[in-house]
Structure formats: C-alpha cells, structure tokens
C-alpha cells in the first residue's frame, strides 16, 4: 500500500499543487503535506501527494554504501 | 453472463472464454477454430479483420487512423502474409467535426502508403449523437501468403527476439487521456511491421505482434502450445525511459502494456544472431534484443518464466483483466 | 537507485543474512505488513532466495484490498450500478475483488454512470469541480500512507462547499492490526519488517510497543530489493544481540518523527473507531471514520449505507474462502482447499487471489519454480 517514488520538485504553485520530475517524466502532485519543501528538493510521492522530503545526504550515503558493496563484490 | 461488461473487451481470459463459448461453437468452422489473428485461405491469400475504438482519437505518435491501418497490416505480417489490400468501414457519430474526420482520413492515407497497402473498398455509416464514440473503424486486410508459421517446428534452444521497447503505445494513450497527471515525451510506437516479412525466409519460425495484454500475454499464449517452458531475462527487455518512469510511479508492469508496432519472433538458435542483425538495421528495430529462449533447464512445460534483474525467478501469467495502476 | 537492485549487492546481502540466520540456529520467521513489500519480494523473486538463506518471509494484512470487507466493496458497486449520472472513482487495486455482486470492474454502471480508475483522490475532486451536475464518489481505501491525501481532499471539498463530491471510506491503521495479530497468538513471528511509507507519515514511535511489550525486533524498510534485505539483516542483528527495537533502515526517505502535518490533517478530518477487518475481525481503534463536522462528505451516509457496514463483514465472504487465515499468516495459501483448484488468478474467489499483493496470487504465480525433468 506504499507505492511511492522519489521525485525532484520542479515547480510549486500557490495552491499547494506543483510538478515533480521522475526519470524525465513530469508528474503533477500536491505538496501541501510537506510545506517546507522547495523546488529542487526530492520528495516521496504517493497517490498524487508528496508525503516526505528525502534527505539528500542520507540518500547519497546509502548509494555510496551500495556502490561499495557492488564494487568489493566484483572479483 | 447476462450482460456484456467492459472487461470482456480487454482481451484477457474473459475474451478467450467468450470466443470459446459463444463464437467458435456458433460457426463450427475449422479455419475459425484456430482463432488465429489472420487466417490463411485456400488460394494463397490470408484474411484478417480488426475494429478500432480507441479513446482519445489522437495521441502522441498516432491516431485511430494509423492504428486502423497498422494493426491490421501487422496481423497479416506476423501470420506470414504480405499485406496488400484493406477495406475501410467507418461508423461516425452525428456531430463529429469534419475537421477531425479529415485528419483521421489523412492519417489512414499516410499509413496505407507507408505500409504499401491499398484501400480498395469500404463503407460509411452515421449513428445518432450519443450512440457511438465519435469514430469507430473496422478494417479487414487481405495479404499474399509468404510463409506458414509452424509452432511444431519450435525447438529447445530457439531464441525469442523482441523488436523494440515495450509499452510506449499504452502509456501514450493513457497520458493523452489526461489520466494520472503525468506528462512525458512518450510517443505511441504505432507502425507497420512490414519490414519483418523477409525474416520468414531468413528462418523465423513464429511471430506475434505485441498488442493488448502486452508481452506476457502474447508469450503465455505461445508457451501454452509448446512442449517446453520459456524463460525471459528481465534485464534484456528493452524499455524506454518514460515507460520505466511511469511503471515505477503508477505501478503498472511494462510486461503487460500494449504496443502497436512491436513483435516477438521465435528464431532457431543458429539463425538468431542473423535475424537480430537484420531487424536492428531497420529504424523501427534499433532496440531489438534477444530476450529469452525456449529451454528446459528451469520450469515445466507450459510455464512462462522471468528471471528478474535481481536474479530470482518468477512465473508470468497472462493478463486476466484491464491493466490498472496501483497504489500498493 | 539501481544500485539497490544490483544482483551482486543482493547476493552479498543474502550471504550475510544466511550467515546470521545460521548463527541463530533456527529459521526466523519475519512478517511484513505492506502490500508493496510483498510486491517487491515477489517481483524480484526474493522470497525463495531468502528461504534458501534460512529466513522465512510471511505476509501480514498489508493489502487494503484484502482487508476491506466485501460489504464495503459491495457498497461501491451499489453506488455505481444503482445511481444514474454518478462517477465512482477508485484506485485500480480495489476494483477486481470478487463479491456476491461480482467485482467493481465487471459491474455494469447505471445509465450515465461510470467507474473511473484514478491515481490520486485529487483527480476525483477535479471531476466534481468540473462537472457540478455529476455525483462523484471517491472510494477512498488505504492505510496511513494514503489517508492524509484523502483527508486533504475531504478538507478541500468541504472548504469549497462542493455538494456533488463524497468519499466512501475504507481507512485502516497498521499498528492496531499488529497488536491484534500478536495478541491472537496464532503464529510465532520472530521479527517485523515495517512499511517504509506508512512510517513516512506515522514515524517509528507507533511500532515501539512491539519491541517493548512483546520483545520482537523490527526494522522500517524501503522498497527496493536492497532496502528489504537491509531490513532483514537489521532484524537478524537485533535477534543475535538479544535486542528488540524499531530500527530505521530507510533514513534517506523518512525520519523517525514521521510527518506531523499529515498526521494533523488525518486527525482533523477523521476519528478512530473499532473497525472490522476481513479475517481479523473487530480491532479496537483500527479504522478511521469521518468526524461529525465532515459527515456531509461521507458517501456511506449519503447512500444510505451505515458507516459500520463493515460489521457485516465476515458473513459476506464467499463460502470456503480462507483469506482471513492467510491474512493473519496462520495458513499459507496452499493450506486453503480452494487454492489453485477453484480459486485461481483467472477465477479468483477471494481478495488474496485478486490483489496484486494478495498472498495467494503471489504464491500461485511464483511458488517453487521446479526444474524440468532432465
């Protein structure tokens, strides 16, 4: 029940609506649940609503961890 | 079933049951009973028909007119026939703008030229406002038999070649409807597959165009009739970026999304590389790839298996009903 | 984030998991309670790989399709077949559940009515705004991930004074269901994988009672295969250290405190009540219903269906269907006599076989893939 993707905010409108970009596609969503989000932030979008702001630093850290795991595994 | 439901039209199990229960017994014709997309008739010709009711009429990459030509042309090509002539029957809703009809007819003309078929007969009807959805089109196609696909000749080790990316048509239509607040550069892949005809002589054993129900449904129908399981490599299946994005966002599986200009070809192992190269030489086949094989190392006869990108194995079932976005 | 799907990485994590499970000296049984987690395991073929590594994965009631009683699905069907000029807007997942009246998707709408699949409740609200002459009913089903969006939509509809929009609620809360499963004591669970996006809203605190009162370790996990394996590994680490806590293995996307704005909105529009879950029965405080101030938006009321329609739940399940026990993790799908015989994906008798995340459908589709005769 949690199908959601991380997308990057492109544009925010007064109404709370806006657009975010995911893999080159643009999706309209409502950002009222994450009032601190700004264009350029990554958010988790579920059923047309952004429910959480992605922590860019933690995301990079996770990626780095996985890249490391992948690298050390290459024999 | 006392009333026809929309679900029946989605081409899945309900449709097959309907054909088996209502259509085939009504006519008891051995040629009809094969339920092939196009039927080879005595005299070296093949016949097919299809109706087109797409909504919206126009979408990026095509419209109901291009579909009406290419869909029927492709049914002939994958059955082993060179498309030659089409009939064109129009059912128009009262109040349809002439300009819209002009565009559709223009598309039909362009598509027919591209596919090298002639529109040689047809019909036009008009129904009351509200009794038809702007335009319905039926086309029947006649082709010259050039090959007879023979499933009996499919062998262990035969490769499956997919001529390009999956799901572009399905996504283009969904987005043109304005569904889901999604915008992307996706365009329908609606196109004629006439360029595949020479592959029959190059050794292709069987072909099917990947339409309603997607690749998984088409291959399920294939594997049902084979003595071996079929294994598909998820990593090898070509997908365009917009389709990848939409499938993650909406939870729709590209393996079940319709195309209108892609085919899957069964080729003997020794000929697969050559056939793949020929497909790739054509602009419509640039992303063609070997996506799987007929094998018996894993699975049981009648099973369609997917080796996931993560290295796991799963069974693929045919689409049983309308493709739906998920929230879960 | 394709690194999170890299087979080499997953293999490495599975090896680590295998080693830890080996140290435990028994096969731990981990329960996830999120349809999307079930789907991740299924899509990537992870469950058999985890089994080989010595960890048994079990699905709990994480599928809103599965746990919404038939009576509610039937109410949706009644709305679209019984009223003219009505749009029933629903998430795709909800439309294929077989009830005594068939499925929502197969229902033939009344004149001028239609079923519309939407991705967001806002699409339904938009239609109501654009077409004031139409009744638009949104079949609002979901867990805490989805509820705030529905609450927001309800609030907007009320603020705009829309008379032609209403919501048929099927809103469920995860933590009370966890407590109910644990208290039922039917199944021994050694650890939980908590749903990452539910947690985006509720944070980590609501699961702490599981660790504190039942001594069971758990980890909040994301939805890539790598995320889930990180979650499994974390639970095993806790078990090996004799610890029980709520670990956060999805820190990149969510914080332990969750989303206070979303929770406030949920609280403003809805209030908890003792809802009946298919298969689990009545669970205290486990469902949400409209508060009195928002009662005008309740489609259940407007269409003469009692808000507690869910009471009639179990009676309306199709005979022989044992989805309830599957949902509680008590039996595996193969334990249901109908499984793969009369109940199959193309002729489902219950929601567990219909829903993409239903345990029965998943087991049917990818059960043990056997090698062919050599």
Enumerate domains of chain A plus CATH numbers. Answer: 5-73 (2.30.30.140)
Rounded to an integer, the average pLDDT of C114-129 is: 94
**Residues B61 and B170 placed together within one structural domain of the fold:** no
Which of A46-60, C222-236, C297-311 is the least confident region?
A: C297-311
CB contact under 8 A, A27 and B183: yes
CA C183/CA B32 separation, integer angstroms: 60
- pLDDT > 80? residue B279: yes
**Residues B129 and B169 placed together within one structural domain of the fold:** no
pLDDT of C40: 87
- pLDDT > 60? residue C239: yes
pLDDT of B179: 72
User: Is residue B212 domain-resident?
Assistant: yes
Range of the domain at B166: 151-315
- Quote the minimal CA–CA distance from C39 to chain B in Å: 8
pLDDT of B306: 92
pLDDT of C360: 84
pLDDT digits (tens, 9 = 90+) for C61-95: 888 878 888 888 889 999 999 999 999 999 887 88
More confident residue, B19 or B162: B162
Rounded to an integer, the average pLDDT of C123-132 is: 96
Which of C34, C145, C156, C261 to probe by mutation at the A interface, max A CB count within 10 Å?
A: C145
CB contact under 8 A, A23 and B183: no
User: Is residue B274 domain-resident?
Assistant: yes
Residue C4 sits at the chain B interface (C-beta within 8 Å): no
What mean pLDDT value characterizes chain C?
88
Look up the CATH number of the domain holding residue B246: 3.90.650.10
pLDDT of C374: 29
- pLDDT > 70? residue C97: yes
CA B152/CA C115 separation, integer angstroms: 44
Rounded to an integer, the average pLDDT of B175-203 is: 91
pLDDT of C356: 66
B positions 249-308 inside 8 Å of C (CB): 250-251, 296-301, 303, 305, 307-308
pLDDT digits (tens, 9 = 90+) for C164-197: 999 999 999 999 999 999 998 887 899 999 999 9
Which of A53-62, B257-266, C75-84, C144-153 is the least confident region?
A: A53-62
Residue C102 pLDDT level (bands cut at 50, 70, 90) = confident
User: Is residue B11 domain-resident?
Assistant: no
Beta-carbon contacts of C267 under 8 Å, excluding residues fewer than 6 positions away, are none
CA A37/CA A15 separation, integer angstroms: 14
pLDDT of C315: 44
Which of B243, B245, B253, B324 to probe by mutation at the A interface, max A CB count within 10 Å?
A: B245
- pLDDT > 90? residue C157: yes
Instruction: Identify the closest residue of chain B to C63 by CA–CA distance.
Output: B328
**Residues B155 and B141 placed together within one structural domain of the fold:** no
Q: Chain C: list its partners (3+ Cβ pairs within 8 Å).
A: A, B
- Do A22 and A15 contact (CB within 8 A), yes or no? no
Rounded to an integer, the average pLDDT of B176-188 is: 84
A67 vs C3, C12, C13: nearest CB: C3
- Do A31 and C230 contact (CB within 8 A), yes or no? no
Coil vs helix vs strand at C223: coil
Look up the CATH number of the domain holding residue B130: 3.30.1330.10
Going from N- to C-terminal start, the domains of chain C cover 2-64+175-248, 67-173+258-316, 323-365
pLDDT digits (tens, 9 = 90+) for B29-87: 999 888 888 999 999 999 999 999 988 999 999 999 999 999 999 999 999 999 999 99
Rounded to an integer, the average pLDDT of C112-134 is: 94
pLDDT of C373: 33
- pLDDT > 90? residue B250: no
C67-173+258-316 shares the fold of C2-64+175-248: yes
More confident residue, B150 or A17: A17
Last residue of a domain, one of B145, B176, B209: B145
pLDDT digits (tens, 9 = 90+) for C2-48: 788 888 899 999 999 999 999 998 899 999 999 889 888 887 888 88
- Quote the minimal CA–CA distance from A43 to chain B in Å: 13
User: Is residue B281 domain-resident?
Assistant: yes
Number of domains into which chain B is organized: 2
Instruction: Identify the closest residue of chain B to C41 by CA–CA distance.
Output: B312
pLDDT of B322: 58
- pLDDT > 80? residue C203: yes
**Residues B176 and B303 placed together within one structural domain of the fold:** yes
User: Is residue B2 domain-resident?
Assistant: no
Q: pTM for this one?
A: 0.86
**Residues B93 and B174 placed together within one structural domain of the fold:** no
pLDDT of B69: 98
CB contact under 8 A, B242 and A25: yes
- Report the percent of chain B where pLDDT is more than 90: 72
CA A16/CA A30 separation, integer angstroms: 6
pLDDT of C371: 40
Beta-carbon contacts of C264 under 8 Å, excluding residues fewer than 6 positions away, are none
Which of C4, C47, C346 to probe by mutation at the B interface, max B CB count within 10 Å?
A: C346
**Residues B224 and B305 placed together within one structural domain of the fold:** yes
**Residues B268 and B216 placed together within one structural domain of the fold:** yes
CB contact under 8 A, B315 and C365: yes
**Residues B307 and B168 placed together within one structural domain of the fold:** yes
**Residues B181 and B278 placed together within one structural domain of the fold:** yes
Nearest to B210 by CA among B218, B199, B202, B200: B218
C positions 325-364 inside 8 Å of A (CB): 357
pLDDT digits (tens, 9 = 90+) for C204-218: 999 999 999 999 999
pLDDT digits (tens, 9 = 90+) for C297-326: 999 887 766 544 444 444 445 667 888 888
Beta-carbon contacts of B216 under 8 Å, excluding residues fewer than 6 positions away, are B253, B255, B256, B304, B316, B317, B318, B319
CA A36/CA B242 separation, integer angstroms: 29
pLDDT digits (tens, 9 = 90+) for B137-169: 999 999 999 999 988 899 999 999 999 999 999
CB contact under 8 A, B300 and C49: no
pLDDT of B183: 83
CA B28/CA B132 separation, integer angstroms: 31
B326 vs A3, A25, A29: nearest CB: A3
Instruction: Identify the closest residue of chain C to B231 by CA–CA distance.
Output: C369
CA C270/CA C293 separation, integer angstroms: 10
pLDDT digits (tens, 9 = 90+) for B101-118: 999 999 999 999 999 999
CATH architecture of residue range(s) C2-64+175-248? 3-Layer(aba) Sandwich (3.40)
- pLDDT > 70? residue C112: yes
Residue whose tokens read 């045919």: B318
Select C67-173+258-316's CATH number: 3.40.50.11740, 2.40.240.20, 3.40.50.300, 2.60.40.10. 3.40.50.11740
- Quote the minimal CA–CA distance from C89 to chain B in Å: 12
- Report the percent of chain B where pLDDT is more than 70: 96
**Residues B272 and B167 placed together within one structural domain of the fold:** yes
What mean pLDDT value characterizes chain B?
91
- Helix (H) or strand (E) holding B146, with range, is none
B241 vs A1, A24, A29: nearest CB: A24
pLDDT digits (tens, 9 = 90+) for C342-367: 888 777 788 788 776 677 887 776 66
**Residues B71 and B167 placed together within one structural domain of the fold:** no
pLDDT of C200: 96
**Residues B171 and B277 placed together within one structural domain of the fold:** yes
Beta-carbon contacts of A51 under 8 Å, excluding residues fewer than 6 positions away, are A4, A33, A34, A43, A44, A45, C145, C148, C149, C197, C200, C201, C259, C262
More confident residue, B94 or C359: B94
pLDDT of A1: 60
Nearest to B294 by CA among B235, B211, B206: B206
Kindly write down the DSSP assignment for every residue of B14-68, as one continuous string. HHHHHIIIIIHHHH--HHHHT--SSEEETTTEEEEEEEE--SSSEETTEEHHHHH
- Do B102 and B233 contact (CB within 8 A), yes or no? no
Residue C64 sits at the chain A interface (C-beta within 8 Å): yes
Residue B178 sits at the chain A interface (C-beta within 8 Å): no
User: Is residue B70 domain-resident?
Assistant: yes
Which residues of chain A approach chain C closer than 8 Å at the C-beta?
1-4, 6, 29-30, 32-35, 44, 46-49, 51-52, 54-55, 58-59, 61-63, 66-67, 69-70, 73-74
CB contact under 8 A, C119 and B181: yes
Residue C270 pLDDT level (bands cut at 50, 70, 90) = very high
pLDDT of B325: 62
């Amino acid at each position: 029940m949690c199908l959601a993707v991380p997308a990057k905010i492109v544009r925010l409108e007064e109404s709370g609506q806006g657009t975010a970009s995911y893999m080159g596609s643009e999706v309209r969503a409502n950002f009222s649940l994450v009032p601190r989000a700004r264009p350029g932030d990554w958010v988790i979008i579920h059923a047309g609503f952004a429910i959480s702001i992605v922590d860019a630093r933690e995301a990079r850290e996770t990626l780095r961890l996985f890249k490391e795991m992948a690298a050390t595994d290459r024999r | 079933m006392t009333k026809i439901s929309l679900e029946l039209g989605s081409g899945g199990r309900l449709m097959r049951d309907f054909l088996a229960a209502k259509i085939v017994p009504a006519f008891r014709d051995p040629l009809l009973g094969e339920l092939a997309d196009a039927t080879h008739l005595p005299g070296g010709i093949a016949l097919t028909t299809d109706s087109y009711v797409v909504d919206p009429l126009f979408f990026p990459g095509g419209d109901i007119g291009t579909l009406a030509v290419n869909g029927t042309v492709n049914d002939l090509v994958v059955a082993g026939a060179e498309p030659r002539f089409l009939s064109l029957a129009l059912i128009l809703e009262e109040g349809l703008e002439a300009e819209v009809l002009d565009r559709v007819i223009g598309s039909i003309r362009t598509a027919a030229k591209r596919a090298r078929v002639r529109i040689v007969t047809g019909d036009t009807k008009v129904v009351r406002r509200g009794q038809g959805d702007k335009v319905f089109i039926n086309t029947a196609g006649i082709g010259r038999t050039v090959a007879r696909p023979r499933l009996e000749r499919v062998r262990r080790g035969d490769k499956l070649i997919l001529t390009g990316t999956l799901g572009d048509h399905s996504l283009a239509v969904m987005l043109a409807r304005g569904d889901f607040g999604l915008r992307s550069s996706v365009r329908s892949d609606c196109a004629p597959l006439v360029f595949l005809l020479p592959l029959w002589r190059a050794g292709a054993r069987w072909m099917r165009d990947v339409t309603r129900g997607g690749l998984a449904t088409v291959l399920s129908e294939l594997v049902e009739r084979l003595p071996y399981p079929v294994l598909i490599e998820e990593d090898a299946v070509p997908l365009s970026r917009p389709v990848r994005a939409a499938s993650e966002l909406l939870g729709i599986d590209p393996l079940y999304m319709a195309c209108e200009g892609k085919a899957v070809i069964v080729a003997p192992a020794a000929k697969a590389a050559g056939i793949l190269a020929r497909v790739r030489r054509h602009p419509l086949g640039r992303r063609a790839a070997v996506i799987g094989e007929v094998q018996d190392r894993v699975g049981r006869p009648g099973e369609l298996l997917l080796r996931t990108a993560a290295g796991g194995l799963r069974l693929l079932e045919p689409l049983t009903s309308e493709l739906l976005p998920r929230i879960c | 984030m394709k690194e999170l799907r890299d087979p080499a990485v997953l293999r490495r994590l599975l090896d680590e998991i295998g080693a830890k499970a080996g140290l435990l000296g028994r096969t731990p049984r981990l329960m996830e309670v999120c349809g999307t987690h079930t789907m991740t395991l299924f899509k990537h073929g992870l469950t058999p790989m985890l089994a080989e590594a010595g960890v048994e994965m079990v699905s709990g009631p994480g599928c809103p399709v599965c746990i919404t009683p038939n009576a509610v699905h039937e109410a949706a069907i009644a709305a679209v077949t019984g009223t003219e000029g009505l749009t029933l807007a629903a998430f795709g997942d909800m439309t294929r559940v077989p009830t005594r009246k068939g499925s929502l998707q197969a229902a033939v709408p009344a004149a001028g009515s239609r079923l519309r699949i939407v991705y967001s409740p806002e699409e339904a609200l938009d239609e109501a705004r654009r077409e004031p002459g139409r009744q638009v009913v949104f079949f609002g089903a979901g867990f805490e991930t989805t509820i705030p969006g529905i609450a927001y939509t309800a609030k907007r509809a009320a603020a705009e004074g829309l008379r032609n929009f209403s919501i048929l609620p099927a809103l469920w809360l995860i933590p009370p269901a966890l407590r109910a499963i644990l208290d039922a004591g039917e199944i021994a669970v050694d650890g939980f994988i908590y749903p990452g996006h539910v947690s985006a809203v509720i944070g980590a605190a609501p699961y702490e009672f599981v660790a504190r009162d039942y001594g069971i370790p758990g980890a909040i996990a994301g939805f890539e295969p790598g995320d889930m394996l990180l979650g499994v590994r974390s639970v095993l680490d806790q078990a090996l250290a004799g610890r029980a806590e709520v670990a956060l293995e999805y820190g990149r996307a969510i914080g332990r405190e969750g989303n206070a704005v979303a929770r406030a909105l949920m609280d403003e529009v809805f209030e908890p009540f003792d809802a009946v879950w298919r298969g689990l029965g009545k669970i205290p405080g486990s469902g949400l219903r409209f508060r009195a101030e928002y009662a005008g938006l309740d489609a259940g009321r407007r269409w003469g269906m009692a808000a507690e329609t869910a009471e009639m739940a179990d009676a309306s399940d199709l005979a022989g269907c044992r989805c309830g026990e599957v949902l509680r993790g008590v039996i595996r799908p193969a334990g249901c006599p109908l499984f793969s015989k009369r109940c199959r994906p193309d002729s489902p008798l219950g929601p567990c076989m219909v829903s993409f995340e239903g345990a029965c459908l998943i087991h049917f589709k990818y059960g043990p893939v056997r090698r062919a005769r050599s």
